[in-house]
């Protein structure tokens, strides 16, 4: 609750509906508290040795 994330109706691929959480609702909290564990956006490019 302290992060403003709440459950809601989630439609599943078999067309059923259940209560659950959407991953995108956690994006702000992940970005602030776990930036290296859950990077958002494209993966950083790694240089190749020459």
β strands within the chain, DSSP E: 8-11, 17-20
Instruction: Determine, yes or no, domain membership for 44.
Output: no
Instruction: Determine, yes or no, domain membership for 26.
Output: yes
Instruction: Determine, yes or no, domain membership for 29.
Output: yes
The per-residue pLDDT for 33 is 80
Domain range for 1 = 1-38
27 in helix, strand or coil?
A: helix
Q: Provide the pLDDT confidence category of residue 1 given band limits of 50, 70 and 90.
A: low
What is the number of domains present in the chain? 1
Instruction: Determine, yes or no, domain membership for 15.
Output: yes
How far is 28 from 11, CA to CA, in rounded Å?
22
List pLDDT tens digits, range 7-46: 999 888 999 999 998 888 888 887 888 777 655 565 555 5
Instruction: Determine, yes or no, domain membership for 22.
Output: yes
């Amino acid at each position: 609750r302290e992060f403003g994330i709440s459950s809601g109706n989630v439609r599943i691929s078999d067309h059923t509906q259940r209560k659950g959480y959407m991953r995108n609702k956690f994006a702000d909290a992940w970005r602030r508290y776990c930036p290296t564990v859950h990077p958002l956006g494209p993966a950083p490019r790694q240089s190749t040795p020459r």
